[in-house]
Structure 1
Amino acid sequence: MNGLSLSELCCLFCCPPCPGRIAAKLAFLPPEATYSLVPEPESGPGGAGAAPLGTLRASSGAPGRWKLHLTERADFQYSQRELDTIEVFPTKSARGNRVSCMYVRCVPGARQGHQAQGGHPQLAWLGRPGDSSDPVSGGCLLGWGTGATLTCGYICLLARYTVLFSHGNAVDLGQMSSFYIGLGSRLHCNIFSYDYSGYGASSGRPSERNLYADIDAAWQALRTRYGISPDSIILYGQSIGTVPTVDLASRYECAAVVLHSPLTSGMRVAFPDTKKTYCFDAFPNIEKVSKITSPVLIIHGTEDEVIDFSHGLALYERCPKAVEPLWVEGAGHNDIELYSQYLERLRRFISQELPSQRA
């Protein structure tokens, strides 16, 4: 963007000349919604014929039970059983927007539940006996055995942490749902996420101020609805999601923070030669990261074509609570998860480094 003409710069920064609008023009690309929230008959208005939340754009957050309906564009990779375990609901932000939330409980071990082949032992998740099998509240009903023989037992598998995940741009909760299931099972964490204003079934328009209000609403919903304490919450932000994550982490202490392909500020992305933070700069992560008091893991690809690798380096140098970072050699902006060191580093951070820091 260094080669923009004067007229293009005026259009970008002077129509109107406010950082929030500049940020929206540069940063927000909400996709066509890939899901809707459908109220269950016993709790939703209008019974079985209630309209899905996604068309009811004026609706505010409401208690009760909701079901997730995915379109084909969500490209869901799991079975109906896993889909049925995803909890969704709307809440309301301080700015009056409805914020769609998703809670993916950690599903232990093997996810398919097939019979063992060739006499090899097989571990399968058989479901929930009542509500007591949910990993947060105590355990799950598992089966193990070989061939047609299956033994059942109740095993306590508590998820120590819940990840509050702020996703990247141009995706919504529907598209991210498969990734959340896989990530939660591999890290043995629950995953809680939300859609920004104007994304998915969330109402309003995307803006910097709405980002901060949206994550505040998600944080409060996670704490009040599920009773999760801050020392059990890991804040995870990816790309544009690092903006609300850094803002929240600079104001609240939590178990840890993960910044995945982070940006230093909006101006520094648009104009890489920018050396200082101006009063009209949007998304000033570089000015807030030093206020974070929780351990911070920064992950960045060395060949990131959207947010240059230098942003991750600058944040790492500015952050006093940064732990050993993960610089993924050759990775771009959207493929870090495909590298084996991604999960390896996250597992080590969560299962080894965090417990040792708490000891």
Structure 2
Amino acid sequence: MAYWWSTIGLVLAIYVGISIALYYLQDYMLFKPEKLPKDFQFNYENQEFKEYNLETRDGATINGVLFKPKGKPKGTVLYLKGNSKSIKGWGKFAVDFTRLGYNVLMGDYRGFGKSTGKRSQKAIKRDLQVIYNKMKELTPEENIIVYGRSLGSGFAAKLASTNNPRLLILDAPYYSLTKVTVRYMPFMPLSVLMKYPLPTYKWLKYVQCPIHIIHGTKDRLIPFKSSVKLAQVNPKLTKLHAVLGGGHKNLNNFESYHKMLQDILESEVKDIDLSTTSINVIHSAKKSK
């Protein structure tokens, strides 16, 4: 009997130890930042851009770059990137929007690139709201588009839920970050341990602008089915775009992805007169003999 009690005690101790380690180490597991020196000079080939620094109320600095199109911009895309690297590399994706006539504002989260400050879910949400408020001083809100890629999709959903942008575009989003993590640690109490639960599905309920979700059908990190579930949260405003064969990091290599972006950004949202459709027509059942 003593042997079994000692075994149970050992298992519990290991379980608690792993839980504590997960809580304190999750920042290192979730975020893969590339840090840049303060004097680093950005260089983007064939792109016009301007660097900005925003001072937050707690003394942090959020560094960002505004990419400009040729001619008068149609609006501004706030691009919320994934969990790795810095805007040094992410900036190359700005061309997907500037070519269509839009400004693109990319910023680094705290601890990424030249941005500073202690990172937390609350701090990042607060930083993004400050950035959004600054954007509204330069661009009418009806011309602001919020684009969230992977990790950034949750923050994008939150930002759109408390503001009124023209569009919300989610690229490879997760239902919640807790749901993604539980796939790899199914026996851990993640609802208690996660410092970044990022419940995208909860925030999408309150978004009032059109929502476009883009996801690869062969995404192994965040399965396509997560976007199918998200599309059902706010169905009247949501359209799901499937990139057939697309993975998690290669959607930009598919021509269909760029056609989707162009269609989303250039199309006008029109209400449907349902009285002119077959919405109330019911297929008749076969008559039994």
Q: TM-score range by the shorter chain?
A: 0.7 to 0.9
Q: Does 1:264 align with 2:264?
A: no
* Corresponding residue number in structure 2 for 1:28: 31
Map 1:194-209 → 2, pairs under 5 A: 194-209=107-122
* Unaligned runs of at least 5 residues, structure 2: 1-10, 272-289
Q: Does 1:177 align with 2:91?
A: yes
One-letter amino acid of the structure 2 residue matched with residue 105 of structure 1: K
1:321 is displaced (CA, Å) by: 4.6
Q: Does the CA contact (< 8 Å) of 1:105 and 1:184 recur in 2?
A: no
Output the CA distance in 2 between the equivalents of 1:103 and 1:353: 25
Q: Percent same amino acid among aligned pairs?
A: 21
One-letter amino acid of the structure 2 residue matched with residue 78 of structure 1: E
Q: Does the CA contact (< 8 Å) of 2:175 and 2:199 recur in 1?
A: yes
Output the CA distance in 1 between the equivalents of 2:44 and 2:217: 29
* Unaligned runs of at least 5 residues, structure 1: 38-51, 55-68, 71-75, 108-134, 136-157
One-letter amino acid of the structure 1 residue matched with residue 178 of structure 2: M
1:217 is displaced (CA, Å) by: 2.4
Output the CA distance in 1 between the equivalents of 2:56 and 2:226: 30
Q: Does the CA contact (< 8 Å) of 2:69 and 2:102 recur in 1?
A: yes
Q: Does the CA contact (< 8 Å) of 2:222 and 2:248 recur in 1?
A: yes
More helix by share: 2
Output the CA distance in 2 between the equivalents of 1:247 and 1:23: 21
Question: C-alpha root-mean-square deviation of aligned residues, in Å?
Answer: 2.7
1:323 is displaced (CA, Å) by: 3.4
Q: 1:215 aligns with which of 120, 128, 133?
A: 128
SS at match of 1:197: coil
Output the CA distance in 1 between the equivalents of 2:58 and 2:93: 29
* Corresponding residue number in structure 2 for 1:78: 45
Output the CA distance in 2 between the equivalents of 1:271 and 1:258: 25
Output the CA distance in 2 between the equivalents of 1:171 and 1:30: 5
Q: Which runs of 4+ in 1 moved over 3 A?
A: 5-13, 277-281, 320-323
Deviates more, 1:341-350 or 1:289-298: 341-350
Which deviations, in whole Å up to 9, do the C-alpha atoms of 1:314-345 show, x marking residues without a partner?
11111235433111121111001111111111
Output the CA distance in 2 between the equivalents of 1:160 and 1:240: 26
Q: Does the CA contact (< 8 Å) of 2:227 and 2:240 recur in 1?
A: no
* Corresponding residue number in structure 2 for 1:48: none
One-letter amino acid of the structure 2 residue matched with residue 228 of structure 1: T
Q: 1:290 aligns with which of 205, 211, 222?
A: 205
Which deviations, in whole Å up to 9, do the C-alpha atoms of 1:27-70 show, x marking residues without a partner?
2111243xx56xxxxxxxxxxxxxx2x6xxxxxxxxxxxxxx13
One-letter amino acid of the structure 2 residue matched with residue 91 of structure 1: L
